[in-house]
Amino acid sequence: MSETVQESSPSAAEPQNEETAEKSEVSNTEALLVQEGDIAGDYLERLLDLLDYDGDIDLDVEAGRAVVSIDGGEDLEKLVGSRGQVLESLQELTRLAVQQETGVRSRLMLDVAGWRAGRRQELTELGRSTAEGVLESGKEARLRPMTPFERKIIHDAIAAVDGVHSESEGEEPNRKVVVFKS
């Protein structure tokens, strides 16, 4: 007489433990961000071909968003424009291309020719020096209108200085950061 032993495996109806569910969710999120980056990379590669611009496209995932960088070509500065205006528009078009294919609104970040990375350093220094100036003088400071990307960097830099805080005021495209002594 032979005995058949069946191994029990969790059925689909059984709930996953929390750790497994979290890992699965992180894995799904990461996969979606990688997919967004791939779609964006393909879209931007076609655009560069149409414009006859040279550039290397790098895809990454940072801080819960897809990050796409284009580097290496001489003409790429034209894709940045004055104060990053062309870059902002190109980023929005790329996000729309991703949304059209995935059905999900994308938060991907696009950088061209290292402009955003350099701008991040400049704005961090501006935020820190403005915060220190407000600490010394006790008077609030209003900065020029900035994009949401720029304001976020300024707010983060100011938050790192004790004794001051910042708020955004105004309506787009004239929204600006105001720094106050706490």
pLDDT of residue 11: 44
pLDDT at 6: 40
CB atoms within 10 A of CB 173: 9
pLDDT at residue 124, rounded to an integer: 98
- Give 20-65 as a DSSP string: HHHHHHHHHHHHHHHHHHHHHHHHHHHHHHHHT---EEEEEEETTE
Q: Structure pTM? A: 0.74
What is the distance of C-alpha 93 from the center of its chain? 15
pLDDT at 17: 63
Which amino acid does the sequence have at 113? A
Q: Could you tell me which of 54, 59, 56 has the C-alpha nearest to residue 71? A: 56
DSSP string, 49-105: HHHT---EEEEEEETTEEEEEEES-GGGGGGT-GGGHHHHHHHHHHHHHHHHHHSS-
Per-residue confidence in pLDDT tens, the chain, 182 aa = 433 334 334 444 445 566 665 556 667 888 999 999 999 999 999 999 999 999 999 999 988 899 999 999 888 999 999 989 999 999 999 999 999 999 999 999 999 999 998 999 999 999 999 999 999 999 999 999 998 889 999 999 999 999 999 999 999 989 999 999 99
The pLDDT value given to residue 12: 45
State how far Cα 108 lies from the chain centre.
5
141: left (phi over 0), alpha (psi -120 to 50) or beta: beta
